[in-house]
């Protein structure tokens, strides 16, 4: 199977869908990999490493010739979709819950599209779980971003010049990113508290050495372990409780998301106004609108001395390791769809059927 890896064109996207190591693993098992020149450059993977691993390098103009599958990170633009031949397999973050128009475009083009977001979170598909792999990177990096912004050290320091109290960190939302943020902040020596609407995570939070904050708000866990949206009353109670607690913290990392919905607004502007100058909020929900009322998606702002970071593609800031993990996810899905390099799509299979977000209608296929 000929698999093509384009250079990502979306602004700020430094990741690449396959790294040289994954090319080296796929090439001997039935995959012919074609990489656009410069595709890995922003993540630190030079063309020659791809060539040494067994990939062919191509200019963009000839890239899609004979392509049976295209693997990428961000969803393709309208022009990129128009260049894809009907029947080609496409794998990437295609935002099926929020970009219906893009999915419809792929369907009309006759593309067989698999969204990494739609891979079911079942044990058999763990190696393909790109939401988790990228959330791990985000949670880790969010703490480093915050540590870099605050005027405070993380650990308790007792020195001849006096004692420095440890930084106090609050993590809101203890899913994959939140748990990684807790672990990272603890390793740096902070005192960490965390909250999630799913009561089931209390034990996981405590096992990482953080305190679970009781806000008296308990949401429900829906399919796949995701949180359900709170009722307006629960939401108001949570905002009020957080408004009281947030000013105690030097750093707040927010990760609260409900799939396919705008991010819950948890930190009102009034709560930011009461935080100590020099403190920092990193809002990992920025792409879905943000958990903090003042978050400006894609930007870093300072309001009343508080830094609010709303970067929308944090994994791209650690593009090398984010790409390494993503490439393993993509390789696992490719091998599931095309064992031994032979495409064998069984849409009754949970993974294949679950991840497929567009495929040719009969008229297009005919």
Report the interface residues with ligand NAD, using CB under 6 A: 121, 126, 129, 131-132, 135, 172-178, 195-198, 225-227, 230, 238, 255-259, 264, 266
Q: In the complex, what is the shortest distance from the CB of residue 114 to ligand NAD, in angstroms, rounded to a whole number?
A: 17
Closest CA relative to residue 282, chosen from 183, 165, 179, 143: 143
- Between 39 and 332, name the residue whose CB sits nearer to ligand NAD: 332
Distance (Å, rounded) from C-alpha 331 to C-alpha 22?
7
Tell me whether residue 238 or residue 331 sits nearer to ligand NAD (CB atom).
Answer: 238
Choose, from 107, 121, 186, 276, the residue flagged as catalytic.
121
Burial of 95 (0-12, 13-18, 19+ CB in 10 A): middle
Based on CB atoms, which residue is closest to ligand NAD, 136 or 307? 136
Tell me if 3 sits within 8 A of 32, measured CB to CB. yes
Instruction: Tell me if residue 331 is catalytic.
Output: no
3 state DSSP class of 309: strand
- Residue 121 among the catalytic residues: yes
Shortest separation between residue 196's beta carbon and ligand NAD, angstroms: 4
Q: Based on C-alpha coordinates, what's the Rg of the chain? A: 22
**C-alpha distances out from residue 20 to 16, 121, 136, Å:** 10, 27, 22
Give Cα 51 distance to the centre of its chain. Answer: 29
335 in active site: no
Distances (CA, A) of 200 to 185, 206, 219, 235: 21, 11, 10, 19
In whole angstroms, the minimum distance from the beta carbon of 148 to ligand NAD comes to 23
Q: Which of 25, 108, 186, 226 is catalytic?
A: 226
Q: Which stretch of DSSP H or E encloses residue 228?
A: none
Beta bridge partners of 281: 252, 308
Active-site annotation holds for 126: yes
Instruction: Report the nearest approach of ligand NAD to the CB of residue 202 (Å).
Output: 12
- Residue 50 annotated as catalytic: no
Neighbours of 40 (CB within 10 A): 30
Residue 207, token pair as written in the block:
């096992």
Is 4 or 272 the residue whose CB approaches ligand NAD more closely?
Answer: 272
In the bound complex, which residue of the shown chain has the CB atom lying closest to ligand NAD? 175
Contact between 272 and 294 under an 8 Å Cβ cutoff? The reply is yes
Report the nearest approach of ligand NAD to the CB of residue 291 (Å).
8
Q: Which of 309, 264, 305 is nearest to 284 (CA)?
A: 309
Which token pair is 149?
A: 């912004």
Write down the least CB distance from residue 285 to ligand NAD, Å.
Answer: 8
Give CA 27 to chain center in angstroms: 27
Active site residues: 121, 126, 129, 132, 226
């Amino acid at each position: 199977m000929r698999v093509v890896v384009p250079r990502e064109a979306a602004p700020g996207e430094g990741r690449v869908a396959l790294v040289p190591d994954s090319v080296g693993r796929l090439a001997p098992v039935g995959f012919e990999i074609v990489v656009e020149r410069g595709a890995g450059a922003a993540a630190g993977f030079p063309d020659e490493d791809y060539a040494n691993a067994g990939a062919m390098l191509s200019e963009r103009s000839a890239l899609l010739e004979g392509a049976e599958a295209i693997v990428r990170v961000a969803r393709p633009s309208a022009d990129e979709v128009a260049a894809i031949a009907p029947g080609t397999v496409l794998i990437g973050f295609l935002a099926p819950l929020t970009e219906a128009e893009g999915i419809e475009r792929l369907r009309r083009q006759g593309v067989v599209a698999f969204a990494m977001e739609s891979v079911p979170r079942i044990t058999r598909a763990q190696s393909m779980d790109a939401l988790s792999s990228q959330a791990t990177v985000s949670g880790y990096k969010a703490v480093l971003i915050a540590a870099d912004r605050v005027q405070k050290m993380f650990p308790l320091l007792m020195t001849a010049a006096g004692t420095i109290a440890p930084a106090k960190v609050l993590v809101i939302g203890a899913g994959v990113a939140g748990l990684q943020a807790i672990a990272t902040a603890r390793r740096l020596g902070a005192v960490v508290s965390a909250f999630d609407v799913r009561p089931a995570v209390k034990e996981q939070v405590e096992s990482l050495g953080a305190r679970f904050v009781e806000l008296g708000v308990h949401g429900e866990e829906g399919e796949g372990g995701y949180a359900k949206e709170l009722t307006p009353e629960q939401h108001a109670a949570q905002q009020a409780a957080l408004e009281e607690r947030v000013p105690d913290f030097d750093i707040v990392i927010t990760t609260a998301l409900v799939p396919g919905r705008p991010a819950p607004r948890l930190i009102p502007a009034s709560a930011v106004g009461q935080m100590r100058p020099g403190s920092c909020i990193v809002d990992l929900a920025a792409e879905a609108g943000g958990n903090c009322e003042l978050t400006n998606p894609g930007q870093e702002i300072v309001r009343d001395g508080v830094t609010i970071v709303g970067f929308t593609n944090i994994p791209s800031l650690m593009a090398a390791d984010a790409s390494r993990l993503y490439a393993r996810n993509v390789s696992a899905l490719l091998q599931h769809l095309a064992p031994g390099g032979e495409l064998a799509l069984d849409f009754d299979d949970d993974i294949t059927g679950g991840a497929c977000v567009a495929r040719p209608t009969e008229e297009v296929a005919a």
